[in-house]
Chain A
Amino acid sequence: TQLLEQSPQFLSIQEGENLTVYCNSSSVFSSLQWYRQEPGEGPVLLVTVVTGGEVKKLKRLTFQFGDARKDSSLHITAAQPGDTGLYLCAGELSYNTDKLIFGTGTRLQVFP
Chain B
Amino acid sequence: DAGVIQSPRHEVTEMGQEVTLRCKPISGHNSLFWYRQTMMRGLELLIYFNNNVPIDDSGMPEDRFSAKMPNASFSTLKIQPSEPRDSAVYFCASSFGGRARDEQFFGPGTRLTVL
Interface residues of A (CB under 8 A from B): 2, 30-31, 33, 40-45, 48, 50, 88, 92-93, 96-105
Contacts and interface: CB of A to CB of B under 8 A. Distances in A.
Given A88-B43, A104-B42, A99 B100 contact: yes
Contacts of B60: none
A97 B98 CA distance: 9
B interface, over-half SS: strand
Contact of B109 (A30, A41, A96): A41
A105 B40 CA distance: 11
Contacts of A33: 101
B42 A103 contact: yes
A43 B43 CA distance: 10
Interface residues of B, number: 23
Interface of B: 4, 33, 35, 42-45, 48, 50, 55-56, 91, 93, 98-101, 103-104, 106-109
Contact of A45 (B35, B45, B91, B103): B103
A43 B106 contact: yes
A97 B100 contact: yes
Contact of A31 (B45, B101, B104, B108): B101
